[in-house]
């Protein structure tokens, strides 16, 4: 049994170590050298070894030691992790500010601005002040549980400071690696003959996703917090909230600033850009947020991004390389896209060998020719782009490039419709490239969801003439599949089973899978709901199609033409003959939709869908979705952290539904 003095010493060491961490990571103001910190930690470790009954999960010694994992489990985010809209030009920022001023009916907006770190997004949950979960963004709805690894990062407190924390606090931030830490790590890895990382971002991501937390613990990872998903008990201004999070022991960038109006935003962008090269970490832009949280709620979300925030990117890094050739790729609908083949060049942190050139107009406008020296940019740090040619270094015999007259995949004529930038192969499904793309689309997740039918396999099936149309897929047998490259008996049998399992899709999925031009998932769902069966959709006139919510004249024409084409009708018949039995939808004309005449208002964050998904789903059932509550509102649908709309609903005695209530509505 430990005596009182030992207990007190252990307590004191823990408090001191936590304080030093706080000073080091949060205040950026260490008061002792690293060696002294290490000495205190060693003393605590020794005492805990002698008195293991006194070890607590939040002791500074407990950052390492978890067993290696076999994989990361998936965790659902209670509040989705959104993405940010991007701006590259000043004009985009002016538009952003104008939209907000107009919507909020204010002359000037207060914003919080901060650098956008180039790292890995992370969600951290604290319950009763203790770190209980660290999860990656994943697809925004669910991510990977990396708690054991997150616990090894000293910048992340295992326990919040003070006593004044909310019962549950979920914060969001970025795990990153400093440039100096990255250089040291790479030196160490190459010294040990191990593979090095290409940039600090990859190093941070790779280190966070180590299955063995002891390895993560050796990596110089840092963390900055940029927001909270749950704001209960926190100040109602974003900048004050960050300050409160800092006081709870969470590191927040010292470059967060409160600025006024669009001029303040642009000035912040200019000064941060000027400071960029002097920082010890990579930033790829700055982020602006409406500072007042009530105003944020009022602005809401569009798609997966908040309307009240904007990432203003810095100019992407550019490099010069040689354009070896321009090749043409054939898409699902025959669209031909010229692609630049480049001498490999390292730009924006990755090696680039291909870049899209979009279309012939773009090539002419940029006057890009094979053999040219070109400036390559990773725009928005994602899609590599050829910016321009260096014309004065051009070889004397250089020739402008032109679109081929015949499709490189099937030899059919290429046509360019007047007024359209896109050239198309006229080969239809005779063209193996179009067939491949169409089959990839057909098999995709949101379409027939045929597990195990990937691009490589489709390529073999098309090249060996085993599959011409989607219906042929359903006649494949195990011996045929097992004879293909990289296929064994077992995977062949699994694929046949997956094909069998895909035979009963909903009508909407089947429609989407058919790949009708301009018919995405939402339009396919509207068409399915409106017509109920393939037969009645196939017989619809353009006028009848335009009557469907979400369908305009262009889409209507594509749908109409699709069903007029005898080949398409044959493919559909062949699918039905092969055993496809789609699940028909109950027919609903626009004015017979179940929620016609009802008006809903959405507020707060929903767990199972974004607000805009909820809006689309309600509208597809005939409801109106309004942005403010009035006596005409049928009901308010409130997620977590609802805004003032909920108070208004209560004062007007308007019914309030939670997400379960919304589920019931949508099932009607
Ligand atoms: O990905 C992000 C980086 C930085 C963010 C972000 C941020 O603020 C400084 N803020 C939000 C609201 C989101 N993503 C969704």
Is residue 80 a part of any domain in this protein?
no
| Closest C-alpha residue for ligand 1 atom 8 | 226
Q: Would you say the CB of residue 287 lies under 6 angstroms from ligand 1? A: yes
Give the CATH number for residue 383.
Answer: 2.40.50.140
For every residue of 606-650, DSSP letters joined together read: -SSS-HHHHHHHHHHTT-EEESS--TT-SEEEE-BS--HHHHHHH
Burial class (CB in 10 A: 0-12, 13-18, 19+), 508: buried
Residues 577 and 598 in one domain: no
Q: How far is CA 448 from CA 54, 275, 471, in A?
A: 56, 50, 12
Report the pLDDT value the prediction gives residue 349, as an integer from 0 to 100.
64
pLDDT tens-place string over residues 326-373: 999 999 889 999 999 999 998 866 789 999 888 888 898 888 999 999
Tell me the H-state helices in 22-156: 34-50, 90-104, 147-150
Q: Would you say the CB of residue 225 lies under 6 angstroms from ligand 1? A: no
Q: Which of 44-48, 129-133, 345-349, 436-440 has the lowest mean pLDDT?
A: 345-349
| Closest C-alpha residue for ligand 1 atom 10 | 226
The yes-or-no verdict on residue 585 having pLDDT over 90 is no
Please give the share of the chain, as a percent, with pLDDT higher than 70. Answer: 97
The yes-or-no verdict on residue 120 having pLDDT over 90 is yes
| Last residue within a domain, chosen from 313, 330, 353 | 313
Is residue 74 a part of any domain in this protein?
no
Give the CATH number for residue 277.
Answer: 3.30.470.30
Report the pLDDT value the prediction gives residue 348, as an integer from 0 to 100.
67
Q: Would you say the CB of residue 227 lies under 6 angstroms from ligand 1? A: yes
How does residue 416 score in pLDDT terms, banded at 50, 70 and 90? confident
Report the pLDDT value the prediction gives residue 58, as an integer from 0 to 100.
87
Q: Which of 284-293, 477-486, 614-623 has the lowest mean pLDDT?
A: 614-623
Report the pLDDT value the prediction gives residue 615, as an integer from 0 to 100.
80
Candidates 309, 281, 83; CA nearest to 272 is 281
Return the beta strands (E) in 350-426 as ranges.
Answer: 350-356, 373-379, 383-389, 414-416, 423-425
Residues 371 and 273 in one domain: no
Task: Please tell me the distance from the alpha carbon of residue 290 to that of residue 239, in angstroms, as a whole number.
Answer: 10
Residues 537 and 587 in one domain: yes
Is residue 351 within 8 A of residue 344, CB to CB? The reply is: yes
Is residue 407 a part of any domain in this protein?
no
The yes-or-no verdict on residue 453 having pLDDT over 50 is yes
Give the CATH number for residue 630.
Answer: 3.40.50.10190
Query: Does 116 participate in catalysis according to the annotation?
Result: yes
The yes-or-no verdict on residue 82 having pLDDT over 90 is no
Supply the range of the domain harboring residue 37: 4-63
Report the pLDDT value the prediction gives residue 603, as an integer from 0 to 100.
85
Is residue 421 a part of any domain in this protein?
yes
Ranges 33-42, 414-423, 558-567, 612-621, most confident: 558-567
Q: How far is CA 407 from CA 326, 430, 464, in A?
A: 14, 11, 20
Report the pLDDT value the prediction gives residue 360, as an integer from 0 to 100.
87
How far does CA 397 lie from the centroid of its chain? 45
Residues 223 and 327 in one domain: no
Task: Please tell me the distance from the alpha carbon of residue 88 to that of residue 86, in angstroms, as a whole number.
Answer: 7
Task: Please tell me the distance from the alpha carbon of residue 490 to that of residue 344, in angstroms, as a whole number.
Answer: 39
Cα 122 to ligand 1 centre (Å): 10
How does residue 316 score in pLDDT terms, banded at 50, 70 and 90? low
Residues 429 and 373 in one domain: no
Give the CATH number for residue 474.
Answer: 1.10.150.20
Q: What is the mean pLDDT of residues 130-152?
A: 94
The yes-or-no verdict on residue 381 having pLDDT over 80 is no
Q: What is the mean pLDDT of residues 430-459?
A: 91
Q: Which of 98-107, 225-234, 435-444, 602-611 has the lowest mean pLDDT?
A: 602-611
Residues 11 and 37 in one domain: yes
Residues 309 and 196 in one domain: yes
Give the three-state DSSP class for 477: coil
Ligand 1 atom index nearest CA of 83: 15
How does residue 590 score in pLDDT terms, banded at 50, 70 and 90? low
Per the prediction, the chain carries an average pLDDT of: 89
Give the CATH number for residue 54.
Answer: 1.10.287.610
Q: How many CA atoms lie within 13 A of 448 on its CB side?
A: 30
pLDDT tens-place string over residues 487-505: 999 999 999 999 999 999 9
Ligand 1 atom index nearest CA of 174: 3
Q: Would you say the CB of residue 121 lies under 6 angstroms from ligand 1? A: yes
Q: What is the mean pLDDT of residues 40-53?
A: 92
Is residue 400 a part of any domain in this protein?
no
Residues 291 and 362 in one domain: no
How many helices (H) and strands (E) the chain has is answered by 25, 24
Q: Would you say the CB of residue 118 lies under 6 angstroms from ligand 1? A: no
Q: Would you say the CB of residue 348 lies under 6 angstroms from ligand 1? A: no
State phi, psi for 127 to the nearest 5 degrees.
-120, 130
Report the pLDDT value the prediction gives residue 380, as an integer from 0 to 100.
44
The yes-or-no verdict on residue 467 having pLDDT over 90 is yes
| Last residue within a domain, chosen from 270, 293, 313 | 313
Is residue 274 a part of any domain in this protein?
yes
How does residue 274 score in pLDDT terms, banded at 50, 70 and 90? confident
Burial class (CB in 10 A: 0-12, 13-18, 19+), 485: exposed
Measure the CA dihedral 155/254/100/269, to 10°.
-120
What's the structural domain count of the chain? 5
Residue 321's contacts (CB-CB under 8 Å, 6 or more residues apart) are: 342, 343, 344, 345, 352, 373, 374, 376
Residues 511 and 648 in one domain: no
Report the pLDDT value the prediction gives residue 232, as an integer from 0 to 100.
79
Is residue 158 a part of any domain in this protein?
yes
Q: Would you say the CB of residue 291 lies under 6 angstroms from ligand 1? A: no
pLDDT tens-place string over residues 212-244: 999 999 999 999 999 999 877 889 999 999 999
Cα 106 to ligand 1 centre (Å): 24
Is residue 69 a part of any domain in this protein?
no
Residues 618 and 574 in one domain: no
Place of tokens 């965790």: 75
Q: Would you say the CB of residue 119 lies under 6 angstroms from ligand 1? A: no
The yes-or-no verdict on residue 174 having pLDDT over 70 is yes
| Last residue within a domain, chosen from 298, 313, 328 | 313
Ligand 1 pocket test: pick from 85, 121, 281 the residue with the most ligand atoms within 8 Å of its Cβ. 121
Report the pLDDT value the prediction gives residue 395, as an integer from 0 to 100.
84
Q: How far apart are the first and last CA of the chain?
A: 64
Residues 381 and 529 in one domain: no
Q: What is the mean pLDDT of residues 180-184?
A: 93
pLDDT tens-place string over residues 640-663: 777 778 888 888 889 999 988 998
Report the pLDDT value the prediction gives residue 65, as an integer from 0 to 100.
67
Ligand 1 pocket test: pick from 80, 81, 84 the residue with the most ligand atoms within 8 Å of its Cβ. 84
Q: Which of 4-18, 240-254, 447-461, 601-615 has the lowest mean pLDDT?
A: 601-615
Ligand 1 pocket test: pick from 113, 227, 256 the residue with the most ligand atoms within 8 Å of its Cβ. 227
Which is more confident, 55 or 643? 55
Report the pLDDT value the prediction gives residue 464, as an integer from 0 to 100.
93
Residues 132 and 273 in one domain: yes
pLDDT tens-place string over residues 191-213: 998 888 877 888 999 999 999 99
């Amino acid at each position: 049994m430990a005596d009182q003095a030992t207990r007190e010493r252990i307590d004191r060491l823990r408090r001191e170590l936590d304080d030093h961490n706080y000073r080091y990571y949060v205040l950026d103001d260490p008061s002792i050298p690293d060696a002294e910190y290490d000495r205190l930690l060693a003393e605590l470790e020794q005492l805990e070894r002698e008195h293991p009954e006194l070890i607590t999960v939040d002791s500074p010694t407990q950052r390492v030691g978890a067993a290696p994992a076999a994989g990361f489990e998936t965790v659902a985010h209670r509040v989705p992790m959104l993405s940010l809209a991007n701006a590259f030009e000043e004009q985009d920022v002016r538009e952003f500010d104008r939209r907000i001023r107009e919507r909020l009916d204010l002359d000037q907006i207060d914003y919080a601005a901060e650098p956008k770190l180039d790292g890995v997004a992370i969600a951290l949950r604290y319950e009763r002040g203790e770190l209980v979960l660290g999860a990656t963004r994943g697809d925004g709805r669910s991510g990977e549980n990396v708690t054991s690894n997150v616990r090894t990062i000293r910048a992340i407190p295992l326990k919040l400071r003070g006593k004044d924390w909310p019962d549950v606090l979920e914060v969001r931030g970025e795990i990153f690696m400093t440039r100096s830490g990255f250089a040291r790590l790479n030196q160490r890895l190459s010294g040990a003959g191990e593979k090095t990382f290409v940039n600090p971002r990859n190093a941070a991501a790779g280190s966070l996703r180590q299955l063995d937390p002891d390895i993560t613990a050796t990596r110089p990872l840092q963390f900055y917090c940029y927001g909270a998903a749950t704001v209960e008990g926190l100040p109602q201004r974003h900048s004050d909230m960050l300050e409160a999070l800092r006081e709870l022991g969470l590191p927040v960038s010292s470059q967060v600033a409160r600025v006024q109006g669009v001029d303040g935003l642009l000035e912040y962008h200019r000064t941060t850009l000027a400071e960029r090269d002097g920082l010890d970490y990579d930033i790829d832009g700055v982020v602006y947020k409406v500072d007042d949280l009530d105003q944020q709620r009022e602005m809401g979300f569009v798609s997966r991004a908040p309307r009240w925030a904007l990432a203003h990117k810095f100019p992407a890094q550019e490099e010069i390389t040689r354009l070896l050739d321009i090749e043409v790729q054939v898409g699902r609908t025959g669209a031909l896209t010229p692609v630049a083949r480049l001498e490999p060049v390292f730009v924006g942190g990755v090696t680039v060998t291909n870049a899209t050139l979009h279309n012939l107009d773009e090539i002419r406008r940029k006057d890009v020719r094979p053999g040219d020296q070109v400036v390559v940019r990773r725009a928005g740090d994602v899609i590599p782009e050829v910016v321009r040619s260096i014309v004065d270094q051009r070889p004397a015999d250089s020739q402008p490039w032109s679109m081929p007259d015949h499709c490189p995949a099937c030899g059919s004529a290429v046509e360019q419709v007047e007024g359209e930038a896109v050239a198309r192969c006229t080969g239809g499904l005779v063209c193996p490239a179009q067939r491949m793309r169409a089959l990839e689309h057909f098999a995709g997740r949101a379409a027939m969801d045929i597990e195990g039918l990937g691009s490589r396999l489709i390529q073999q099936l098309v090249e060996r003439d085993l599959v011409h149309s989607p219906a042929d897929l359903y006649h494949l047998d195990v011996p045929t599949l097992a004879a293909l490259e990289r296929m064994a008996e077992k995977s062949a049998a699994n694929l046949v089973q997956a094909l069998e399992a895909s035979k009963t899709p909903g009508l909407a999925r089947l429609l989407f899978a058919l790949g009708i031009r301009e018919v995405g998932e939402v339009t396919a769902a509207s068409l399915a709901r409106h017509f109920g069966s393939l037969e009645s959709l196939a017989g619809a006139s353009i006028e009848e199609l335009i009557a469907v919510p979400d369908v305009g004249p262009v889409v209507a024409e594509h749908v109409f033409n699709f069903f007029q084409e005898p080949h398409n009708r044959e493919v559909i018949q062949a699918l039905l003959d092969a055993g496809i039995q789609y699940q028909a939808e109950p027919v609903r004309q626009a004015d017979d939709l179940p929620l016609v005449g009802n008006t809903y208002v959405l507020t707060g964050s929903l767990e199972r869908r974004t607000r805009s998904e909820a809006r689309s789903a309600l509208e597809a059932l005939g409801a109106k979705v309004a942005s403010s509550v009035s006596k005409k509102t049928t009901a308010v649908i409130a997620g977590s952290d609802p805004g003032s709309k909920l108070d208004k609903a209560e004062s007007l005695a308007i019914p309030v539904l939670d997400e379960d209530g919304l589920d019931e509505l949508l099932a009607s």
